[in-house]
């Protein structure tokens, strides 16, 4: 699996390189600034990109902007964004095109190599991987949409936002897969998402959720 890596701290970049190579990924480019990242994304068309939000030269959200720009040109280009902090604002922007293949995680999550690599693979496969902190923040705010969900449905949505499959969710919550299916159907209903077989519905559910208070 071909990976483009963007991280400006040398130590962290090398660490991520090692970690991903050890898990059988092929690092085709490792860059340390925004313009290089955009070029690498468009030239290499990797299977997945792992990108730090804040990159030189401006030390602002250059990495995020480059990722978004690349996805505008190559819809669905899988990008996993890493950051020292997570914001719903950014999560929404990443999910906004509804094509999936998006991850947004705290940098701390690389501590657990297995879970991190799992997240990278999920994103590469077109799924989502939202940091639990994003979801936790949402529950902390008094969102009317959130209010309509039962506690169990919240748990399911939280795991769904992290990008887990029904089977994985069932395992976590000690539920049968069909029970999880019922919960997800109910969540889709409450969020007003039409019934369809489209896998992207899970992405849309998360997006609708993050977007709940727009307008």
Q: Which is nearer to another protein, 24 or 215 (CB)?
A: 215
The residue range among 1-9, 26-34, 119-127, 134-142 that interacts with another protein, by the rule CB under 8 A, is 134-142
24: Cβ–Cβ under 8 A, 6 or more apart, which residues? 1
Query: Binding to another protein by residue 107, rule CB under 8 A?
Result: yes
* C-alpha–C-alpha distance, residues 172 and 180, integer Å: 11
* C-alpha–C-alpha distance, residues 121 and 57, integer Å: 29
The residue range among 42-50, 60-68, 163-171, 189-197 that interacts with another protein, by the rule CB under 8 A, is 60-68
Q: Cis ω on the peptide bond leading into residue 57 (within 30° of 0)?
A: yes
Q: Which is nearer to another protein, 142 or 174 (CB)?
A: 142
Q: Which is nearer to another protein, 141 or 178 (CB)?
A: 141
* C-alpha–C-alpha distance, residues 81 and 63, integer Å: 8
Beta strands in 97-204 (DSSP E): 102-106, 128-130
* C-alpha–C-alpha distance, residues 210 and 204, integer Å: 10
Query: Binding to another protein by residue 85, rule CB under 8 A?
Result: yes
Work out which of 10, 11, 89, 197 binds another protein, going by CB under 8 A: 89
Of 71, 82, 59, give the one whose Cα is nearest residue 5.
82
Binders of another protein: how many residues, by CB under 8 A? 25
Query: Binding to another protein by residue 214, rule CB under 8 A?
Result: yes
Query: Binding to another protein by residue 54, rule CB under 8 A?
Result: yes
Please tell me whether residue 55 adopts helix, strand or coil conformation.
strand
Q: Which is nearer to another protein, 29 or 207 (CB)?
A: 207
Work out which of 71, 88, 164, 202 binds another protein, going by CB under 8 A: 88
Residues that bind another protein (CB under 8 A): 53-54, 58-61, 65, 83-85, 87-89, 106-108, 111, 137, 140-142, 144, 213-215
């Amino acid at each position: 699996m071909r990976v483009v890596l963007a991280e400006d701290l040398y130590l962290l970049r090398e660490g991520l390189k090692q970690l991903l190579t050890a898990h059988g990924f092929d690092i085709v480019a490792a860059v340390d600034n925004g313009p290089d990242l955009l070029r690498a994304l468009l030239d290499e068309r990797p299977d997945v990109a792992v990108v730090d939000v804040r990159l030189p030269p401006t030390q602002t959200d250059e990495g995020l902007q480059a990722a978004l720009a690349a996805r505008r040109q190559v819809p669905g280009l899988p990008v996993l964004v890493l950051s020292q902090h997570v914001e719903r604002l950014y999560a929404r922007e990443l999910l906004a095109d509804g094509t999936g293949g998006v991850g947004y995680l705290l940098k701390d999550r690389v501590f657990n190599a297995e879970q991190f690599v799992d997240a990278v693979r999920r994103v590469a496969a077109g799924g989502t991987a939202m940091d639990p902190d994003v979801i936790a923040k949402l529950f902390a705010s008094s969102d009317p949409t959130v209010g309509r969900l039962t506690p169990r449905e919240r748990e399911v949505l939280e795991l769904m936002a992290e990008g887990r499959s029904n089977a994985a969710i069932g395992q976590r919550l000690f539920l049968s897969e069909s029970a999880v299916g019922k919960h997800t159907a109910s969540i889709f209903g409450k969020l007003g998402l039409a019934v369809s077989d489209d896998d992207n519905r899970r992405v849309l559910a998360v997006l609708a959720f993050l977007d709940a208070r727009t307008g």
